[in-house]
Amino acid sequence: MNSTRQDLPGLVTFEHEFEIPLNHQEPGGAKITVFAREVVTPDTLGEDLPWLLFLQGGPGFPSGRPMGNSGWIERATSEFRVLLLDQRGTGRSTPVTHESLACFATPQEQADYLTHFRSDSIVADAEWIRRELTGGEAKWTLLGQSYGGFCSIQYLSQAPEGLEAALITGGIPGIDTPIEGIYAHTFAKMAEKNRAYYARYPRDVQRVKDIAAYISEHEVKLPGGDRLTVERLQSLGGAHGMSDGYETLHYLLDEAFVEGPEGRQLGYAFLRGVENRTAFDTNPIYAILHEPIYSQGPATNWCAARMHGDYPEFDLGATPLFFTAEMIYPWMFEQSAVLSNLAKAAEILSQKADWPGLYDLDVLAKNTVPVAAAVYYDDAYVPVALSMESAARIPNLRTWVTNEYEHNGLRADGGRLIGRLLDMTRGKL
C-alpha cells in the first residue's frame, strides 16, 4: 500500500493505492491498482475513529472528490474516518477506458477482462482493503449510494463479517428479479415522469417536436463530431430522476435554437449540453456493464432495446416525445466514434449466459448486520416495489420510504439522510 497526505480546507486526506488481484479467484495472477482516499477533519486526525466506506453510484464512476468539509462528508467525518473508494476501473484506480481496452488483441479478450468489474469484484476489493488498512480487526460501516447500495447488499451476502452496519440511499436491488422485470418497472416509471414533466412545461411538447424535426431533416453534428440523432435526444431523460432534473432539462431545451447565417439552427451551447448529458465515452463501464450488473445467469441480450417497442409512448415519432433514462441501447455504440471500438465486446457481454450469482439468498435471510435504507418512493432508477420486496427478505434491514427526495437525495441533503439512517441502525428511530 502506498499512501500520501493532502490537506484541504477543513479536511485532511490520505491517498492510498492498493495492488489487488484482477481475479480474486486467482490471487497469483494479474494485478490492478485500486485507489481510495481517506478523509478526516484536522480536529479528529489523531483519534481512533471507526471507518465508514463510501460506495459510489454507477457503475463505472469514481468516488466524489471532496472540495471541503461540507455536505454529507461533514456529517460523516464528525464521527467516522471516511474512505472514498474509486471502484475498480474508475478514477485513479487502474482505469477502464477505450484507450486501455485497445491494449487487448480481440473483443473477446476485452469482454473477458470486463467480467471482473461487477459488484462481486468490488466487494472483494473492499474486503482486501479493509484487511490491509485495519489488519482485519476493525469492521466498517458502509454508505452505499444507488449502485453503491447494490454493492452493499452484495457485501452483506459475501462478507458480512466485515461490516458494523450499512446505510443505503436509493439502492436496494431486486435481489432475484430478472432484468426484464426491472425494466418493466423503469419504463413505466419514466412514462409517469414524462407526463409530469410535460404537465409542468406544456410548451416543451412543441419545442421538443421542433428539435426532433430539425434533427431528422438536417445532419447535426455534436461538438465532439458524433451525429445527433433523435434517439440520442430521447436519452436526455436521465435528469428526470433528480430533484432539479425537470428544470435542468427544460432550461436546456428552452435555449435550443439560435439564428445563424442560414436561419434558425440548433445552437452550439445546446449541442454541447446534449453531448455532456448523453456521452458515456469517458465512462465505458457504465455503457458496457449497465445491463450485466443485474444478471445472475441469463444473457441480458440488450434488454432495454428488446422491451422498448412494448411501450408505444416511447416511440420516436410520438407526440410528446418521451425521454428515456438509465437505459443502454446498441445504437449508443454505433453512433459514438469512441464507443464503436467497444461495440463487439459489448455485444459479447450482452450474449453472455453464465453470469455468476451476486446475492446469496441464504446468507441474506440470516443477516444480523444493522441496515438502514432510504427508499425513494418516486425513484426513476431503482424501483420502489422491488426494493421493498428485497428489504422484506433481509432481517435487520429497516427502510425509510420517502417522497421528500429524488434519487439525488444524498447530494441534496446528505447530512440529514446520514443522521437519520445512523439513528435507525442504532435503534433511536
Q: Which three cell numbers stand for residue 27?
A: 490471487
User: Do 230 and 101 fall within a single domain?
Assistant: no
**Residue 1 in this model has a pLDDT that exceeds 80:** no
Is 407 in the active site? yes
Work out how many domains the chain is built from and give that number.
Answer: 2
User: Do 37 and 154 fall within a single domain?
Assistant: yes
Per-residue model confidence as pLDDT tens digits over 62-100 = 999 999 999 999 999 999 999 999 999 999 999 999 999
For residue 270, the SS3 value is helix
User: Do 234 and 100 fall within a single domain?
Assistant: no
3-state secondary structure labels for all residues of 127-158: HHHHHHHHCCCCCEEEEEECHHHHHHHHHHHH
Give the residue among 216, 202, 231 at the shortest CA–CA distance from 323.
231
User: Do 114 and 221 fall within a single domain?
Assistant: no
User: Do 291 and 220 fall within a single domain?
Assistant: yes
Q: Which domain holds residue 304?
A: 179-351
**Residue 111 in this model has a pLDDT that exceeds 90:** yes
Q: Which three cell numbers stand for residue 257?
A: 435554437
Which among 323, 351, 379 is the end of a domain?
351
Percent of the chain with pLDDT over 70: 100
Is 146 in the active site? yes
- Strands (E) across 254-364 are located at 257-260, 263-266
Q: What Cα–Cα distance (Å) separates residue 330 from each residue in 36, 156, 291, 344?
A: 33, 33, 12, 10
User: Do 335 and 371 fall within a single domain?
Assistant: no
Q: What Cα–Cα distance (Å) separates residue 328 from each residue in 3, 261, 332?
A: 37, 36, 7
State the pTM of this model.
Answer: 0.96
User: Do 337 and 220 fall within a single domain?
Assistant: yes
Given the residues 93, 146, 243, 336, the one annotated as active site: 146
Determine the pLDDT at residue 300.
98
Per-residue model confidence as pLDDT tens digits over 142-173 = 999 999 999 999 999 999 999 999 999 999 99
First-last CA distance in the chain = 39
Determine the pLDDT at residue 402.
98
CATH code at position 67: 3.40.50.1820
Given the residues 116, 240, 290, 407, the one annotated as active site: 407
**Beta-ladder partners of 257:** 266
Is 7 in the active site? no
